[in-house]
């Protein structure tokens, strides 16, 4: 799996326009082949800071997205930014989680038993 994180900082007067562009982009990207997740977040307390998170089945799926007309919309939005976007790409070979055994939660303040999965 490939995880992408794109941090964007809007110009003060362009926050609303950037948010609308990013919301549309995230929604459309979800339908692309190989896209597992495409979500937009806005920082609490600073509505000019945005985080676009994507998850992809493979590097090939991400590369197809990066070559798409849809991605070029994001590149075209640079006039709405106060600084260049920060982009981080993580390749995840394996993920694990935690399993909470809720049957042992007898009181609201009880400590749950946690097992690695």
Comparing C-alpha atoms, which of 8, 104, 105 is closest to residue 47? Answer: 8
Check residue 114 and give its pLDDT. Answer: 55
Q: What's the pLDDT tens digit per position in 11-57? A: 999 999 999 999 999 999 999 999 999 999 999 989 999 999 999 99
The answer to whether 1 and 92 have CB atoms below 8 angstroms apart is yes
Check residue 111 and give its pLDDT. Answer: 57
**Residue that is written with structure tokens 């006039």 in the block:** 79
Check residue 13 and give its pLDDT. Answer: 96
Cα–Cα distance measured from residue 75 to residue 79, given in angstroms and rounded to the nearest whole number: 9
Cα–Cα distance measured from residue 49 to residue 41, given in angstroms and rounded to the nearest whole number: 9
Domains of the chain: 2-116 (3.30.70.100)
Angle at 64 between CA 79 and CA 34, to 5 degrees: 115
pLDDT at residue 7 tops 60: yes
Check residue 99 and give its pLDDT. Answer: 73
> Which pLDDT band holds residue 74 (cuts at 50, 70, 90)?
confident
Check residue 110 and give its pLDDT. Answer: 55
Check residue 65 and give its pLDDT. Answer: 94
Cα–Cα distance measured from residue 71 to residue 93, given in angstroms and rounded to the nearest whole number: 25
């Amino acid at each position: 799996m490939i995880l992408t994180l794109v941090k964007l900082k809007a110009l003060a007067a362009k926050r609303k326009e950037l948010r609308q562009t990013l919301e549309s982009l995230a929604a459309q990207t979800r339908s692309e082949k190989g896209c597992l997740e495409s979500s937009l977040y806005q920082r609490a307390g600073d509505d000019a800071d945005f985080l676009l998170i994507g998850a992809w089945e493979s590097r090939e799926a991400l590369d197809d997205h990066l070559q798409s007309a849809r991605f070029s919309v994001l590149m075209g939005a640079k006039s709405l930014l106060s600084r260049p976007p920060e982009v981080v790409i993580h390749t995840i070979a394996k993920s694990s989680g935690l399993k909470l055994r809720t049957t042992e939660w007898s009181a609201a303040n009880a400590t749950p038993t946690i097992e690695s999965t």
